[in-house]
Amino acid sequence: MLIIPAIDLKDGHCVRLKQGVMEDATVFSENPGEMAAHWLNQGARRLHLVDLNGAFAGKPRNEAAIREIVDALGDQIPIQLGGGIRDLDTIERYLDDGITYIIIGTAAIKIPGFLQDACNAFPGQIMVGLDAKEGKVAVDGWSKITGHDVIDLAKKFESYGVEAVIYTDIGRDGMLNGINITATVELARQLTIPVIASGGITNINDIHKLCEIESEGIMGAITGRAIYEGSLDFKEAQVLADKLSKDNGIS
């Protein structure tokens, strides 16, 4: 299982939010390139980026910081990016800049046909981000809860050809109170494509719990606040995940 460090970008800085509230941001670094290099040196095999300003504005807002990160990492590990991506031109520009996977969230729901067009235009490079609270999908930087059921939407998007689903329980994100294992497994069991878990990872116990369900189709887990505040040692977490995967005959 991949343990994936998150770098959330706001105003060019690396921050973390609590439950998606922009006003409740903690700045962890003012140098995104250095932060990306740090996680690479700690053994990260993939990086998760979010343009927070872009997610709220509906268009890219942190492209300079994103380019810094790409320049710092080169092509050493894949980078997945979401936040404010609403058209094919933006996707193409990011891929040309060196981003490996594009994550489409709000636009997958609010712009009919966009996600399917993106999957057709850039096969193998499109993921969908589904952020949910109590089984219902949230959009617009988590500011609005829709009536859409997360499992129904995931199955629909799977048919479009998305590479993976990133599932975030927004009631837990940034709160350090444990990942929603039940909801994550329930979703993964309904799909044939991989699920990446997100939201609520607190400590090494959560890594144990996630690895126990890896065989259900959980390919990775995104972690942010825990590794920045020190309740989870990233290097230790990835070493443990590799060991448990091997023990379980998965890798």
Q: What is the pLDDT of residue 179?
A: 84
Catalytic-residue membership of 8? yes
Of 8, 51, 169, 173, the catalytic one is: 8
| pLDDT per residue as tens digits for the range 159-175 | 999 999 999 888 665 55
Of 131, 169, 206, 242, the catalytic one is: 131
- From the list 47, 34, 41, 52, the residue with the least C-alpha distance to 4 is 47
Q: What is the pLDDT of residue 22?
A: 81
Which segments of the chain have a pLDDT < 50? none
Q: What is the pLDDT of residue 24?
A: 80
Catalytic-residue membership of 131? yes
Per the CB < 8 A criterion, the answer to whether 221 and 197 are in contact is yes
Q: What is the pLDDT of residue 169?
A: 82
CA–CA dist 117, 43 (Å, integer): 35
Q: What is the pLDDT of residue 45?
A: 98
Q: What is the pLDDT of residue 23?
A: 79
Q: Report, in angstroms and rounded to the nearest whole number, the Rg of the chain calculated over CA atoms.
A: 16
User: Which ranges of the chain would DSSP assign to H, the alpha helix?
Assistant: 32-41, 52-57, 63-73, 88-97, 106-110, 114-121, 150-160, 181-189, 204-212, 225-229, 234-247
